[in-house]
Amino acid sequence: RVLSIRDIPGVNPAIADKLEAAGYSSAWTVVVARVDELAEKTGIPPTALQKVIENARRALGITFKTAREVKLERLNIKKITTGSKSLDDLLGGGIETKTITEFYGEYGSGKTQICHQLSVNVQLPPERGGLSGKAVYVDTEGTFRWERIEAMARGLGLEPDQVMDNIFYMRAYNSDHQVSIIDDLFTFVPKNDVRLVVVDSVTSHFRAEFPGREHLAERQQKLNAHLHQLMRLAEAFNIAVVVTNQVMARPDVFYGDPTTAVGGHVLAHTPGVRVQLRRSKGNKRIARVVDAPHLPEGEAVFVITEEGIRD
Ligand code: ADP
Ligand code: MG
């Protein structure tokens, strides 16, 4: 299923060598790249690259679709259970493939626990709410815990070691690293039966590296490019992409929702599903879907237990 650079008609070995050396090994990686960026990284003239990209598109069958084909593709969308019936219902059945789902909320609202749970649940067979697939977990904050995976696997009666073997973990050390990990996933995902990619959190490196109002525009531009890259990944391979975003509450906001004020959600200009999480009493959490015309309004209550996300 993975079409290598060398399988693209008209790509000679010298060009293939240069592309591979720059990290572009599959046809998908060039199709989704920009010509100027490819030219800069490979030293190949833009006119030659344009030809490579056109041939790669043709080889991958990227052309117009009829509306009926769009409908059939839409029917192809699959869902992953969160572990909570109430949260699944709020999301129209679970976390969808072919899109990005953003969980945003304050520290401790349950974003990381949901990411862990989905990495386990994606492995379940379809009749139990999974996709019989594997997960990629990109961790930017160092909050991934194998112990939680083990406990959640046990909670579902799954073999913990087997479940852990099916989660590919990578720590991202800065925003450039984070972006390059996702670039590589255009090759890695189809080769390894990956059906879920988690980025927890998608924003922290960008916030740290581009601080303050003076870097706001640059930060948002880089973040948008990264989110589009993730969206393409979700669409290209019919996988679910889940990102988290920590937002701070503003104690000085008295009317409306205090957590939407600072930072807000990051998917504002990207298609996708945004879910706000709030703490409630004890281990209870409240989820709300924001700006999703295709989903009913309302809130879901779920709990975080030792065994994971439950009703
Ligand atoms: P966020 O990523 O939004 O900052 P987390 O997903 O890390 O928040 O959620 C942390 C919360 O998860 C803790 O406050 C605790 O309530 C719950 N939690 C973490 N580990 C366990 C566990 N082993 N058993 C029960 N609840 C847990
Ligand atoms: Mg977290």
What is the per-residue pLDDT across 271-285, written as a single tens digit (0 to 9) for each? 789 999 999 999 999
Pairing of strands 194-200, 240-246: parallel
Q: What's the fold here for domain 5-60?
A: DNA polymerase; domain 1 (1.10.150)
Does 265 have pLDDT greater than 80? no
Which residue's CA is minimally distant from atom 5 of ligand 1? 110
Taking the centre of ligand 1 as the mean of its atom positions, its distance from the CA of residue 140, in whole angstroms, is 17
Does 256 have pLDDT greater than 90? no
The band of 257, judged by pLDDT with boundaries at 50, 70 and 90, is low
Q: Which atom of ligand 1 is nearest to the CA of 110?
A: 6
Do the first three CATH levels of 5-60 and 73-310 match, i.e. the same topology? no
Among the listed residues 298, 296, 299, the one whose alpha carbon sits nearest the alpha carbon of residue 285: 299
Which residue's CA is minimally distant from atom 21 of ligand 1? 306
Taking the centre of ligand 1 as the mean of its atom positions, its distance from the CA of residue 293, in whole angstroms, is 30
The band of 261, judged by pLDDT with boundaries at 50, 70 and 90, is very low
- Residues 117-125 have a mean pLDDT of 98
Taking the centre of ligand 2 as the mean of its atom positions, its distance from the CA of residue 36, in whole angstroms, is 36
Does 250 have pLDDT greater than 70? no
Does 263 have pLDDT greater than 80? no
pLDDT digits (tens, 9 = 90+) for 151-162: 999 999 999 999
Q: Which atom of ligand 1 is nearest to the CA of 200?
A: 2
Mean pLDDT of the chain: 91
Q: Which ligand is nearest to the CA of 278?
A: 1
Angle (CA) 201 205 206, round 5°: 105
Burial tier of 161 (Cβ tally within 10 Å: 0-12, 13-18, 19+): exposed
Does 50 have pLDDT greater than 70? yes
Ligand 1 pocket test, pick from 106, 113, 117, 198 with the greatest ligand atom count within 8 Å of Cβ, gives: 113
Does 63 have pLDDT greater than 50? yes
Taking the centre of ligand 1 as the mean of its atom positions, its distance from the CA of residue 274, in whole angstroms, is 20
In the sheet that 99-105 helps form, which strands lie side by side, from edge to edge? 167-171, 134-139, 194-200, 240-246, 99-105, 273-279, 284-290, 299-305, 308-310
Ligand 1 pocket test, pick from 103, 286, 304 with the greatest ligand atom count within 8 Å of Cβ, gives: 304
CA–CA dist 155, 84 (Å, integer): 13
pLDDT digits (tens, 9 = 90+) for 90-119: 999 999 999 999 999 999 999 999 999 999
Q: Which ligand is nearest to the CA of 111?
A: 1
CATH 3.40.640.10 assigned to domain 73-310? The reply is no
- Residues 209-237 have a mean pLDDT of 90
Q: The tokens of 154 are what? A: 């046990």
φ/ψ (deg, to 5) at 102: -105, 125
Q: Which atom of ligand 1 is nearest to the CA of 109?
A: 3
- Residues 77-101 have a mean pLDDT of 96
ipTM of the complex as predicted: 0.99
Q: Which ligand is nearest to the CA of 201?
A: 2
Question: Residues near ligand 1 with C-beta < 6 Å?
Answer: 105, 107-113, 283, 304-306
Grouping H, G, I as helix, E, B as strand and the rest as coil, residue 275 is strand
C-alpha to C-alpha distances, 232 to 97, 186, 304, nearest whole angstrom = 12, 9, 31
CA–CA dist 218, 213 (Å, integer): 10
- Residues 144-151 have a mean pLDDT of 98
Q: Which atom of ligand 1 is nearest to the CA of 306?
A: 24
Q: Which ligand is nearest to the CA of 142?
A: 2
Taking the centre of ligand 2 as the mean of its atom positions, its distance from the CA of residue 275, in whole angstroms, is 15
CA–CA dist 246, 201 (Å, integer): 7
Domain definitions of the chain by residue range: 5-60, 73-310
